[in-house]
Chain A
């Protein structure tokens, strides 16, 4: 048997992962988004060491425009260095974005998978609960949680996760409903595979692509959500975050509009990058689109 032909065959039949990676790489907007995102994450992790300084310290006269005295983004209404605040804020935004999205996806997958797998009254009850959570205006609900239970970072993360999961639950459930009727699931069931294995080893891996895309978008939504809460002042006052910079400076937009526009731009660029990556993942993971 010629090993050349064999090698060729193997090369042609690439793993779905590398095929998806190839698709993603062809999407220039998604790659650009990923590059920007990596830069922001690195800035969040290492920024405070590269650009040291306490973001709460008053370093120069308030409302100094960008570039003044070496403060390349200027100072805010209390004379704090905007660049330093922005770098420290990146940490909070990304940390909350990731952890809240993780929580959202965890709750969403659990509820959606149980509803889609067991059907019947389990589905009925879980979907009613989902609908209930969709009726509560998300931001107001999380405002109430934060107001009653305290504005700490874990509580904010919990509040965001608690109000955002229904979208993930719905997607998971509809994927489960579709996949549980497919032949290979039937076959596994007929072989006596346990329900737990069916859910986690057979159905869930096949349901993942749309959930991964949704999870990516959830990171963006969570960042926006946190920004909204901290813009309203409902955040830990001892921690800088992008939304909070805007919220605390917004009364001074006549004097120094950059204190609002610049942090907003940071949020915008971050979320935009995430959504471009999400689009890229969607194209890469959706086999129907791949054939075009």
Chain B
């Protein structure tokens, strides 16, 4: 109960945030220049009178603002994000179709960046003049300064055009035949370059923070206690120091979820990865407003879920989290 209550509170807060996103969406729709029904249909005046009429009815555009808003929120809570007139499909279906590809990319990149970043951080903290230290310093500069789409194109030129190791674009090669494993291997092959590209930004952040946090923890009193117990070096570093050094890194990773999703938009565009980012760009070019707003809502949802998971992981790592209150 003690453990569950704060989590229930967090979930309640998360729902409030999501409703706030909806209010923002709706306000932007109203603030945007031009007639709302036109904006939604995105035909710039030339749309079918019947379609425009339908939109006015669906969104309740003849009613007062707050009723429109409540109606919009009510629709979304019933998993109805509106209709895409460009794709002629419900927006929810469109998004759910593309979501798995984005989640695969985002989650794999986060995990890769965390694991490699933490390992680099640990080794460079153990040996400040070693190879790992130089790698961290280099990554920290490169990861911040290099535009992620440029990194992606460079990798693309190097590892699929000059040396054809990986496929140039997409997620699935339709010519690949075989069972589940053959197809999984194909997707994995397509995943390599996009994931490395996306992870490169965050790898830099995590390894630098992990190094700083490890250096601090290695000088702490409880690490001295662990050494005084006669524990092996490995246990001192990985059991006693790392678990403490991990908290700030996990917290940062949680805060980065929205940046990872942002980065994914660019990476998806570079590698033609069939995810939400590609969909977002296409619908912006097609001026397909319901889809764009739906994606913004869904990506906020992904970020919020990511934050909740981070919170849970933090609680598992550090017993002091949540017991303070």
Question: A residues within 8 Å of B by Cβ?
Answer: 131-132, 134-141, 143-145, 147-150, 220, 224, 227-228, 231-234, 243, 246-247, 250, 253-254, 257, 260-261, 264, 267-269, 271-272, 274-276
Instruction: Give A137 to B276 CA distance when docked, in angstroms.
Output: 12
Chain A nearest CB from B43 CB (Å) reads 16
Verify A135–B307 contact, CB threshold 8 A.
yes
Is residue B81 contacting chain A, with contact meaning CB distance below 8 A?
no
Verify B153–A253 contact, CB threshold 8 A.
yes
Is residue B7 contacting chain A, with contact meaning CB distance below 8 A?
no
Instruction: Give A250 to B154 CA distance when docked, in angstroms.
Output: 11
**Contact with A131, one of B17, B28, B299 (Cβ below 8 angstroms):** B17
Is residue B68 contacting chain A, with contact meaning CB distance below 8 A?
no
Which of B83-91, B120-128, B265-273 lies at the interface?
Answer: B265-273
Verify B266–A139 contact, CB threshold 8 A.
yes
Verify A246–B284 contact, CB threshold 8 A.
no
Interface residues of B in 233-268 (CB under 8 A from A): 255, 258-259, 261-263, 265-266
The 7 closest A-B pairs by CB, nearest first: A264-B150, A139-B262, A272-B145, A137-B261, A271-B145, A148-B32, A147-B284
Q: Which residues of A contact B33 (CB under 8 A)?
A: 149-150
Verify A140–B299 contact, CB threshold 8 A.
yes
Chain A nearest CB from B288 CB (Å) reads 9
Verify B147–A228 contact, CB threshold 8 A.
yes
Verify B303–A260 contact, CB threshold 8 A.
no
Verify B146–A137 contact, CB threshold 8 A.
no
Number of interface residues of B (CB under 8 A): 49
Main secondary structure of the interface of B (DSSP, over half): helix
Chain A nearest CB from B271 CB (Å) reads 11
Question: B residues within 8 Å of A by Cβ?
Answer: 17, 20-21, 24, 28-29, 31-33, 39, 141, 144-150, 153-154, 156-157, 161, 255, 258-259, 261-263, 265-266, 269-270, 277, 280-281, 284-285, 287, 289, 292-293, 295-296, 299-300, 303-304, 307
Instruction: Give A272 to B289 CA distance when docked, in angstroms.
Output: 36
Verify B255–A272 contact, CB threshold 8 A.
no
Instruction: Give A150 to B31 CA distance when docked, in angstroms.
Output: 12
Instruction: Give A228 to B277 CA distance when docked, in angstroms.
Output: 13
Verify A138–B149 contact, CB threshold 8 A.
no
Verify A135–B303 contact, CB threshold 8 A.
yes
Instruction: Give A232 to B265 CA distance when docked, in angstroms.
Output: 9
**Contact with A257, one of B157, B258, B262, B285 (Cβ below 8 angstroms):** B157
B260 nearest in chain A by CB position: A137
A147 nearest in chain B by CB position: B284
Verify A135–B289 contact, CB threshold 8 A.
no
- In this complex, which of B145, B156, B255, B289 has the most chain A Cβ atoms within 10 angstroms of its Cβ? B145
